[in-house]
Amino acid sequence: MVRLPNDCLAKYIKDSGYHQLISGWYFIFVQAMSNNNQLEKDKKMENDYIVCVCGDASRAAYLIKGEKNVLFDAGMAYSADRMIENIKRELGDQPLDAVLLSHSHYDHISGVPFLRKEWPDLVVYGSAYAKRILEKLSAKKTMRELSDAAAQGAGLKKAPDYRDEDLVVDKVVKEGDVLDFGDHKITVFETPGHTKCSLSYMVDHDVVFASETVGVTTSEVYMPCYLVGYQMSLDAVEKLRRAGAKRIFITHVGILTPEDAGTALLPGLKKEEFSTDRVWDYLEAGLKRTKDEIVEIIKKYPTEEERLKVMLATYHKGVKQEEQPDFAFLLNAAATLKVVERECMNEKEESSHEYHCGSR
């Protein structure tokens, strides 16, 4: 029998007003790289100015080196010590100057207090919505509970303690802001869809760090991540495509390269066909295909339990439990089902239905 697990915690999160944290379970137990191709990519990126410094295998902390050193997302609390070691290895005596938050899920931000302890002058950037969430006592409480759960999944008793007042957004950024970090200028894009607070960032015109809104390419399956908005996610892909970056960074994956074509990260795409446009095409197609598939799942299966069982078999095949346990996927899947049902299955107004389903 498939059930939405941890019902009490899910209800608590909803009642606390911090329901966006649900998908923070997304990569709780990620302990190993999903494929050898990713390991090879890390080796090739060692000479790049962008380096993965995450303390675990969730790939939720990337260092952008330059005159000012900037971290994209801050990983999880239980592995923050290893993340800091990795950052120090890259920077030596140089400081870490800033953190750019993609969204407010705990697996992307709970390393912030430990970074502040190491670098007191650190400035954390995020959206206004993320700032409001992190000011809620209920959110802080839930953040600790999820951090402890992640630590337990890694074989620890609990996550290390930290001061709640250190887990905050210092500077709010919005669409079109350009952050000057000396030799790097970073442009901010609002890309809601995964969460209401999701942001993407473009470093110069070289790399765009796409938020989880565009989806995650892993384990030979495009995994839909639109937990608050499907059309928002399509709009985000188009917005980031128009930004014109030379390279694309996918959250929890890294920078996609021609070597990824034809692998588990970009199946069906040949190496000689690789381009940023083709990657955006792949992400857009993944959004539309999964929406159509989920509409059919909702039509065919009357209960949430049946729908979740099919979602699990369709989008979670080949994913190891230590990478993402079934219950974590099911929490996300339940939110995605609600989004598709709300946006794409309202037949009261045909024109509205067509717009919401991405058929303009």
Highest-confidence segment of 34-48, 151-165, 308-322: 151-165
Residue 167 one-letter amino acid: L
Q: How far apart are CA 107 and CA 238, in angstroms?
A: 26
Model pTM? 0.85
* pLDDT for 94: 97
**What sign does the dihedral 30-31-36-41 (CA atoms) show?**
positive
pLDDT-wise least confident of 143-147, 335-339, 350-354: 350-354
If one counts every other C-beta atom within 10 angstroms of the C-beta of residue 157, the result is 7
High-pLDDT (> 70) share of the chain, %: 79
List the chain domain ranges.
Answer: 7-356
CA–CA distances in Å: residue 327 to residues 22, 73, 287: 11, 24, 22
Q: How far apart are CA 4 and CA 10, in angstroms?
A: 9
CATH H superfamily, domain 7-356: Ribonuclease Z/Hydroxyacylglutathione hydrolase-like (3.60.15.10)
pLDDT tens digits, one per residue of 199-215: 999 999 999 999 999 99
Whether residue 358 is predicted with pLDDT greater than 80 in this model: the reply is no
* pLDDT for 324: 58
Q: How far apart are CA 119 and CA 24, in angstroms?
A: 25
* pLDDT for 153: 79
Q: How far apart are CA 214 and CA 283, in angstroms?
A: 6
**Angle, helix 326-344 to helix 304-315, in steps of 10 degrees:** 110
- Exposure class string for 62-80: b at 16+ Cβ within 10 A, else e: bbbbbebbbbbbbbbbbbb
Find the farthest-apart pair of alpha carbons in the chain and give their distance in angstroms, rounded.
Answer: 62
Structural contact between residues 93 and 69, judged by C-beta atoms closer than 8 angstroms: no
- In the chain, count H helices and then E strands: 12, 14
